Amino acid sequence: MVLRGILWSQTHPAMGCVAMNDFFKLQFRLWGILTAAGFLGIIGTVAGFLGQYAWWLDIGSHFRIQYTILFALLALCYLMGKKRPWALACLIACIINAIPVAAYLLPTRGYDTITGSSLKVVLMNVDTEHGKPDEVIQLLQRENPDVVILEEINDDWMKRLSPALKGYPFQVIESRDDNFGIGLISRVETTSTQVVFFGSSEVPSIIAVMKLDGHPFTLVATHPLPPGGQEYSFCRNEQLELVAAYVRTNQTNQNPLIILGDLNVSPWSPHYRDFIEQSRLINSSQGRAIHPTWPTFSPLFLIPIDHCLHTANIAIKSKRVGKSIGSDHYPVIVEFGMKDAKAVRRAE
């Protein structure tokens, strides 16, 4: 097109000037779009590092992977356009965002060695209004899990799922009309269960003591409020703090413990880091993969907020994200068992 414009300008000088002007306007518009994208990325990057000071700043912390990719592409574009200072600035911004992601992924490790039997758990935030029960049932039939954790369930959901759950003798169901119903369904020997409310949000969590090869362990299913405002953000952070306090109490007895749930927080949020420091739990994705789960309707903005966290004496055999079930969350599928006591001592 540029060559055509040049040839046209040789025979029609006035029209040639118009064509060249349009070409330069297009160039300026392109660089303007790139600059605007970089500016927004910088705002998000800085906001994320200040997330502990305001709920709306914390939103910027969740998209470190997207910022990393964005600035890598911008650096390449600016380098090709021979705008080296801009390319260098984007490269620096790329590295700044890549460091937290790398810290989450490194050091790379294999899955733990399990002594004895293992269990498969499926965590599903089914999306109360838009999820598809038939696809949830298909996943259950395909995976045949030992334990199922359902979030955002109501009475209608449980009525439609109940035929697929008949083979599970242990069931604790707290269905609600809002998006915070929760259920724990198990075929594993379960010695005790309780529904608890961590914090002022009054959304239910479930604590179950189960046995694997005769050894007891604790499973916690929880679902804090999404941080969609100052009040909701406070409630989420409060619930994470109280769950961490419960974990510390449990660890005094050296009981194996595993937590699964939509925690509505990504690994790069300062509130997540506080939770990990207080609870001393291990993220089952740490050193392995990102495992993004939400939002399914916008793949470019996928982030990991559905988590499986555990104590050091739990061994993770595998973890993966399942196929879509019609929800705005992908399901999480985890296989775990008990770690050998000698391996735990070596890790300490």
Quick: pLDDT tens for 105-114.
876 555 677 8
Does residue 10 have a pLDDT over 50? no
Average pLDDT over residues 272-296: 95
Does residue 252 have a pLDDT over 90? no
Q: Which of 230, 261, 269 is nearest to 243 (CA)?
A: 261
Q: Kindly calculate the radius of gyration of the chain based on its CA atoms and give it in whole angstroms.
A: 25
pLDDT band at 31 (very low <50, low <70, confident <90, very high): confident
pLDDT of residue 342: 53
pLDDT of residue 4: 43
Quick: pLDDT tens for 116-158.
899 999 999 999 999 999 999 999 999 999 999 999 999 999 9
Does residue 8 have a pLDDT over 50? no
pLDDT of residue 251: 77
Cα–Cα distance for residue pair 17/5, rounded to 1 Å: 9
Report, in this order, helix, strand and coil percent for the chain, each rounded to 5: 45, 25, 30
Among the residue ranges 30-39, 154-163, 297-306, the one predicted with the least confidence is 30-39
Going from the C-alpha of 4 to that of each of 13, 19, 28, 81, 257, the distances in angstroms are 13, 9, 20, 22, 69
Give every strand in the sheet of 282-283, ordered side by side: 190-197, 204-212, 215-221, 257-262, 306-310, 282-283
Going from the C-alpha of 324 to that of each of 165, 288, 295, 331, the distances in angstroms are 20, 22, 11, 7
